[in-house]
Amino acid sequence: MKKLLIFIIVIISFSCSLKRDNPLDPNASGIVEPIRVSGMVVSPPAANHINISWDQTPECDGYIIYRSQSYYGEYAFHKEITHNETTEFDDYDYISGTHYYYMISAYKEINERKLEGLRSEKKTW
């Protein structure tokens, strides 16, 4: 039992000194993740599409839109917006009579990888 305790203490001591070298780790790299997307508005289906708009997020490279068929359901990737100036999306890929819920996150591209910020509040029409 004593040897096990010493072994655990040694492992913990060495693991605390490990260097964090993930380039997308905000705690190690000093990179600040994008802020949460705000101001999202989802319009009811009209003219064969659902319009989604949101406030522009500063210092981001694009947005990721997630969609679910229920408020507490699983939100799956739906669309990537690769321009940070774009703050509107028309969703033509929906089933008439189905209710959808959306979430959006902003991201930064770092070394050809994406650092995604927190997702927005869940919204529907």
User: 33-116: what fold?
Assistant: Immunoglobulin-like (2.60.40)
User: Is a pLDDT exceeding 60 seen at residue 30?
Assistant: yes
For the segment 17-38, the average pLDDT, to the nearest whole number, is 72
Whether the predicted pLDDT of 11 surpasses 80: no
Residue 23 has pLDDT above 70, yes or no: no
Domains of the chain, by residue range, sit at 33-116
pTM, two decimal places? 0.76
Q: For the segment 64-123, what is each residue's pLDDT rounded down to a tens digit? A: 999 999 999 999 999 999 988 899 999 999 988 899 999 999 999 988 899 999 999 999
Query: What pLDDT sits at residue 14?
Result: 66
CA torsion, ordered 51, 81, 34, 30, to nearest 10 deg: 180
